[in-house]
C-alpha cells in the first residue's frame, strides 16, 4: 500500500458499505457479483428504515384499510362488510411483515452473498478507512482498497417550536410501530408520509386532523392533493390548509397535547405526529475526516461518486445524496454504484456492461412515486409546471377515469383523474400523474413510457385490455391525437 494508505491493524476489504438497508444491500450485492470482497456495517437493524419503520410496515397496515374501503365501493360487496377493522389483527399483520423487528433473516442474506457483516456504529477515519464501534465499546478498524459507500439514510426533522420536547410527538417510526389507536391524532405535514399516516390512522379509528402549510402533495400536479384531501374528508378526517403549529403543551405526560396555531386558535389532541421533512444521517459518520461537513447532504455524480473527495473512492447512495428519497430509487442507485465500483476496480470503461452504462439517468427524468392514500396518487416524470419551467414545449392532456369503463366496473362511482404531459417537439411523454382507486399498478407502464421516451405514435399500439382501469391510456392518447389534428 502507499504511504497515504497504511493498513496495519485494519481488516482490508475491496468495498466497505455503511448502512445495511435496501440501498446498502444492493450495492453490496452488485460489488460481490463483480468479484469484490465486501464489508457491511449496520448500527441498527439489517434491512434499515424501509423494512421496519417505513415502506413495509406502513403498507402492511394500510392494505386492510384500503381493502375494506374498496369493498364498500362495490354494491353486493359492501353489504358483506359489517363492523370495524380488527385492529389487533391489523397490527399482527404488520408485525409479521417486519418479522417482529428481528433482522436475523436479513443478516443471513448479507452473509449468503459472501459479505461480512459488522454490527456497530461506523465512522470514516480518513480516506478509505472506517472504524466500527460496537454496543459494548469495542472497536474494529476496516480499510477499503477501492470504495466506501455511504448508505446511512435519513431521519425525521422536528421543527424548533416551543414545547415540542414536552409534547413527545410521533414521527414516522411511531406512526408505523405503535399498536394503540389514539382517539384523536393531529398529523402535521401534507407530504407523502403525512397523507399516508392520516389515511391509516383515520381508517383504524382515530379522529385525524391534518395541518398543512400548503396544499397536500405539493410536488405533484395540483389535482392530486385536492382529490386526496377530498378522500380524507369523506373518510371523516379534518384537513386544514394554510396553518402552522407555533407551540405545544403537554403538562401531564399521560394527558392530551394542546396545539397553538398561527391563527391564534388552539387544538387539543391525544397524540401529534410531525411529518415535516427529513435530514441526512451523516452527522456522526466521520465526514470531517475527509474534508466534508458533518450532517450535510452529499452531492454525487451519476455513478453516485462523491467528486468533492479526491481519489474516486467515496460513494453516496439513497437518501444521503438527496436526489429522490424513495426506496426504489435508492436501490436503483445501489445497483448502479455497485456495478460502477466493479468496473473501476477492474479498470474497465464504465459503459462496458451488458445492461448499458452506469449512469443513474432515471434520477433526473423518470422518478416514479406512489402514495397509498384513498384514492391512491402516483406520478412519474415532470409535472406540467416543471416542464414549462424547463422551457419545454408541452401539451397537457387531462381526463377523468370515468372515461374508462374498466374504472367504472372497478368501483361504483369511481373517482379519479389522469394527466399526461407531452413534449410536442419530440411527441414523447415527459410526465404522467394518476389519482384513483388501484392506480398504483398502472404506474410502471407510465414509467416505461417516460424512461424509454417511447414515441406516442408507437405507444398507441400498446393496446390496453378491456375492461381494465388501464384503458385510460387509450383515451389519453386518443384525446392528444384529436386535439392535435
Q: Distance (Å, rounded) from C-alpha 178 to C-alpha 273?
A: 12
Q: Distance (Å, rounded) from C-alpha 474 to C-alpha 469?
A: 10
Mean pLDDT of the chain: 95
Count CB-CB contacts under 10 A for residue 126.
14
Which grid cell sits at 224? 392530486
Structure confidence at residue 1 (pLDDT):
39
Per-residue pLDDT at 360 exceeds 80: no
Percent of the chain surpassing pLDDT 90: 92
Instruction: Write down how long the chain is.
Output: 485
Q: Which of 214-218, 360-364, 426-430 has the weakest average pLDDT?
A: 360-364
Q: Distance (Å, rounded) from C-alpha 58 to C-alpha 151?
A: 22
Per-residue pLDDT at 4 exceeds 90: no
Bigger pLDDT: 190 or 361?
190
In which order are the strands placed within the sheet that holds 428-436? 368-371, 376-381, 428-436, 417-423, 394-400
pLDDT tens, residue by residue, 103-162: 999 999 999 999 999 999 999 999 999 999 999 999 999 999 999 999 999 999 999 999
Phi, psi of 334 (to 5 degrees): -60, -45
pLDDT tens, residue by residue, 328-351: 999 999 999 999 999 999 998 876
Q: What is the CATH number of domain 375-484?
A: 3.30.390.30
Per-residue pLDDT at 204 exceeds 90: yes
Nearest to 320 by CA among 310, 330, 311, 312: 330
Domain boundaries, the chain: 11-47+103-155+280-362, 164-276, 375-484
Structure confidence at residue 2 (pLDDT):
42
Per-residue pLDDT at 438 exceeds 80: yes
Which grid cell sits at 170? 410521533
Query: How big is the CA angle at 289 (ends 335 and 293), to the nearest 5 degrees?
Result: 75
pLDDT tens, residue by residue, 169-186: 999 999 999 999 999 999
> Considering the domain 11-47+103-155+280-362, what is its CATH architecture?
3-Layer(bba) Sandwich (3.50)
Structure confidence at residue 357 (pLDDT):
61
Structure confidence at residue 485 (pLDDT):
67
Q: CATH 1.10.1040.10: does it fit domain 164-276?
A: no
Structure confidence at residue 354 (pLDDT):
54
Bigger pLDDT: 139 or 3?
139
Non-local (6+) Cβ contacts of 372 within 8 A are: 58, 59, 62, 66, 196, 199, 440
| Confidence band for 3, pLDDT divided at 50, 70 and 90 | very low
pLDDT tens, residue by residue, 73-101: 999 999 999 989 999 999 999 999 999 99
Domains 11-47+103-155+280-362 and 164-276 share a fold: yes
Q: Distance (Å, rounded) from C-alpha 478 to C-alpha 33?
A: 45
pLDDT tens, residue by residue, 58-70: 999 999 999 999 9
> Exposed, middle or buried: residue 146 (CB in 10 Å: 0-12, 13-18, 19+)?
buried
For cell 383515520, the residue is 202
Amino acid at each position: 500500500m502507499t504511504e497515504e494508505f497504511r493498513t496495519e491493524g485494519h481488516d482490508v476489504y475491496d468495498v466497505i458499505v455503511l448502512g445495511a438497508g435496501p440501498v446498502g444491500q444492493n450495492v453490496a450485492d452488485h460489488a460481490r457479483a463483480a468479484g469484490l470482497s465486501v464489508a457491511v456495517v449496520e448500527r441498527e437493524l439489517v434491512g434499515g428504515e424501509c423494512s421496519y419503520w417505513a415502506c413495509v410496515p406502513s403498507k402492511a397496515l394500510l392494505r386492510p384499510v384500503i381493502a375494506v374501503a374498496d369493498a364498500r365501493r362495490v354494491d353486493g360487496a359492501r353489504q358483506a362488510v359489517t363492523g370495524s377493522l380488527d385492529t389487533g389483527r391489523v397490527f399482527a399483520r404488520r408485525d409479521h411483515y417486519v418479522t417482529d423487528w428481528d433482522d436475523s433473516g436479513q443478516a443471513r442474506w448479507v452473509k449468503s452473498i459472501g459479505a461480512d457483516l459488522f454490527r456497530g456504529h461506523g465512522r470514516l477515519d480518513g480516506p478509505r478507512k472506517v472504524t466500527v464501534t460496537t454496543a459494548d465499546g469495542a472497536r474494529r478498524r476496516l480499510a477499503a482498497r477501492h470504495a466506501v459507500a455511504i448508505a446511512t439514510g435519513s431521519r425525521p426533522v422536528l421543527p424548533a417550536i416551543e414545547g415540542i420536547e414536552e409534547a413527545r410527538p410521533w414521527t414516522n417510526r411511531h406512526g408505523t410501530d405503535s399498536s394503540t389507536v389514539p382517539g384523536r391524532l393531529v398529523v402535521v405535514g401534507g407530504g407523502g408520509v403525512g397523507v399516508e399516516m392520516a389515511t391509516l390512522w383515520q381508517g383504524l379509528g382515530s379522529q385525524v386532523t391534518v395541518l398543512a402549510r400548503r396544499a397536500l402533495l405539493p410536488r405533484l400536479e395540483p389535482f392530486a392533493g385536492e382529490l386526496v384531501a377530498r378522500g380524507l374528508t369523506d373518510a371523516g378526517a379534518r384537513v386544514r390548509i394554510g396553518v402552522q403549529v407555533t407551540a405545544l403543551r403537554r403538562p401531564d405526560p399521560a394527558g392530551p397535547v394542546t396545539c397553538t396555531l398561527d391563527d391564534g386558535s388552539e387544538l387539543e389532541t391525544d397524540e401529534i405526529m410531525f411529518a415535516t421533512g427529513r435530514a441526512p444521517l451523516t452527522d456522526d459518520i466521520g465526514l470531517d475526516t475527509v474534508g466534508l461537513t458533518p450532517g450535510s447532504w452529499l452531492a454525487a455524480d451519476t455513478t453516485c461518486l462523491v467528486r468533492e473527495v479526491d481519489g474516486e473512492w467515496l460513494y453516496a447512495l439513497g437518501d444521503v445524496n438527496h436526489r429522490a428519497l424513495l426506496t426504489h430509487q435508492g436501490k436503483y442507485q445501489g445497483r448502479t454504484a455497485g456495478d460502477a465500483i466493479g468496473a473501476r476496480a477492474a479498470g474497465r470503461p464504465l459503459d462496458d456492461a451488458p445492461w448499458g452504462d452506469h449512469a443513474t439517468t432515471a434520477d433526473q427524468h423518470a422518478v416514479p412515486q406512489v402514495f397509498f392514500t384513498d384514492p391512491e396518487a402516483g406520478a412519474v416524470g415532470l409535472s406540467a409546471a416543471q416542464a414549462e419551467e424547463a422551457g419545454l414545449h408541452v401539451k397537457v392532456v387531462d381526463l377523468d377515469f370515468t372515461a374508462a369503463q374498466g374504472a367504472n366496473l372497478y368501483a361504483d362511482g369511481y373517482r379519479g383523474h389522469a394527466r399526461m404531459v407531452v413534449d410536442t417537439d419530440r411527441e414523447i411523454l415527459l410526465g404522467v400523474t394518476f389519482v384513483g382507486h388501484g392506480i398504483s399498478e398502472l404506474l410502471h407502464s407510465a414509467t416505461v413510457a417516460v424512461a424509454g421516451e417511447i414515441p406516442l405514435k408507437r405507444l398507441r399500439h400498446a393496446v390496453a385490455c378491456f375492461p381494465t382501469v388501464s384503458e385510460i391510456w387509450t383515451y389519453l392518447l386518443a384525446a392528444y391525437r384529436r386535439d392535435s389534428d
